[in-house]
Amino acid sequence: MLDFNLRDRTILLTVAGSRAYGIHTAESDLDIKGVLVPPVKYYLGTQKIEQVEGDRKRFSSFRDDLTPEQEQIADHYGMEGTIFELRKFLKLAAGANPNILDVLFCRDSDVIYSTAAGQVLRQNRQKFLTKKCLHTFVGYATAQAHRIETHRKWLLDPPDHEPTREEFELPARHLYPQDQVKAALDKVRKQVDRWSIDFRDVEESTKIFIQDQIYKQLAEINVGSEERFTAACNLLGFETNFMELVHKQRKYDDARSKWKSYQSWKKGRNKARAGMEKKVGHDVKHAAHLWRLTSACRTIFETGDLMVYSPDPYVLAIRRGEVAFDKLMARFYEQKADLSRLAVNSTLPDRVDSDWLEELSVGIVGEMIKKEI
């Protein structure tokens, strides 16, 4: 439970999601995102807060800031969102997180609430556009592509049973303690990651983009996951019998994970979305966001600006299920190649100026703290 008034500490709140993009349906809920500066004790004391998530009840203090239309949408279709602590918000924005940049670049009419500090953030939004946008926007789009392809497989050829140990030639009883097998698997995965890249300080969307490129290059020289796994086991000095067991366990664990994901996906879909998926053979919502993200990335590198509200007729056609899966995916992979070329020739900076970012953060937090002292 919060020990402060959320509205009093919020400096910026905006509409987010499909309604901010202009690709919503009549039944779309109201998504919101924002920025807050918590009380001074969260900066000087032991308590920390990174973000506040919730639904309409959590954000009830902003009720009077909603337009009549927004209030009606929230009443009928729900409202949910996240308000980020300033320093986390700035870190994500500097990392070119697409969902965070939306808050800075959305239409003025989609700003629900803003203080002078919130206006400063939006006035300086251009400084957050960097070449990192290639990895984050395309990374998010690639993640959407993976989801679409996975869900399509489930639609066309759904798994019919839960994987068993017997199918993977594993004994009914564990020959080794499970914590030992798990530790071995963790060592192998870490070794494979080290051969690729150190991802500890890399944002998820950038990680997805880079991994996608690595796997493609490895595939071109016929180095698959099986070869990398075996090589890692050999390097770690596993005995042949144990290595074979760990290998089978990995396959079994992966199959069970996919089964659980399938069950969760099947259970969690709403009826309208499931009906559309069945009709067209793929998830049109993920598909629309896939194309929206790549188009937004193109606009960034061609114009130096980000257009959040962009009801592109092609995106809307995708959302309505009017674009065939094969055609969509072919255009997406062509677009990815074009974006890489655009980024190379872009005049955008490689990264956000860290000194400026530090000054911005200290200035905003300092002004808020002055009011408490």
Instruction: List pLDDT tens digits, range 259-290.
Output: 999 999 988 887 888 888 889 999 999 999 99
Determine the residue type at 373: I
Query: Degrees (nearest 5) of the Cα angle 292, 55, 89?
Result: 55
pLDDT at 337 over 80: yes
pLDDT tens string 42-68: 888 888 999 999 998 999 999 999 999
**What DSSP character marks residue 202?**
S
The secondary structure of 302-360 as a DSSP string is: HHS---S----HHHHHHHTT-S-HHHHHHHHHHHHHHHHHHHHH--S-SS--HHHHHHH
Choose among 29, 78, 82, 30: nearest CA to 53. Answer: 82
Q: How confident is the model at residue 125 (pLDDT cuts 50, 70, 90)?
A: very high
Question: Exposed, middle or buried, 21 (CB in 10 Å: 0-12/13-18/19+)?
Answer: buried
**Rounded distance between C-alpha atoms, residue 61 and residue 6, angstroms:** 7
Choose among 94, 95, 77, 88: nearest CA to 33. Answer: 88
pLDDT at 202 over 90: no
Structure token digits, residue 228? 């990398």
pLDDT at 214 over 90: no
**Rounded distance between C-alpha atoms, residue 94 and residue 353, angstroms:** 9
CATH topology for the 6-128+351-370 domain: Beta Polymerase; domain 2 (3.30.460)
- Better-predicted residue by pLDDT, 241 or 117: 117
pLDDT (mean) for 7-13: 96
Determine the residue type at 256: R
Structure token digits, residue 154? 């489930």
Buried b (16+ CB within 10 A) or exposed e, 231-253: ebbeeeebeeebbebbbbbbbbe
Structure token digits, residue 153? 């497989």
What is the overall mean pLDDT for the chain?
A: 87
Structure token digits, residue 299? 């606009």
| E strands, 111-215, in order | 111-114
pLDDT at 338 over 50: yes
Q: How confident is the model at residue 249 (pLDDT cuts 50, 70, 90)?
A: confident
Residue with tokens 């042949």: 240
pLDDT at 96 over 90: yes
Q: In sequence order, which residues have a C-beta less than 8 Å from that of residue 226 and are 6 or more positions away?
A: none
Strand, helix or coil at 60? Answer: helix
Distances, alpha carbon 230 to alpha carbons 166, 184, 240, 242, in Å: 22, 13, 10, 12
Percent of the chain residues past pLDDT 70, beyond the cut: 88
pLDDT at residue 373 in the model: 67
Residue with tokens 């940049």: 101
**Rounded distance between C-alpha atoms, residue 247 and residue 2, angstroms:** 47
pLDDT (mean) for 73-90: 95
pTM of this structure: 0.80
Question: Exposed, middle or buried, 77 (CB in 10 Å: 0-12/13-18/19+)?
Answer: middle
**Rounded distance between C-alpha atoms, residue 282 and residue 359, angstroms:** 46
- Better-predicted residue by pLDDT, 21 or 2: 21
Distance, C-alpha 171 to centroid of its chain: 39
Residues of the chain with CATH 3.30.460.10: 6-128+351-370
Choose among 243, 136, 148: nearest CA to 191. Answer: 243
pLDDT at residue 305 in the model: 96
**Rounded distance between C-alpha atoms, residue 178 and residue 269, angstroms:** 34
Mark out the alpha helices in 157-283 (DSSP H runs).
178-196, 204-220, 225-235, 240-268, 271-280
Straight-line distance from the first to the last Cα atom of the chain, in angstroms, rounded to the nearest whole number: 24
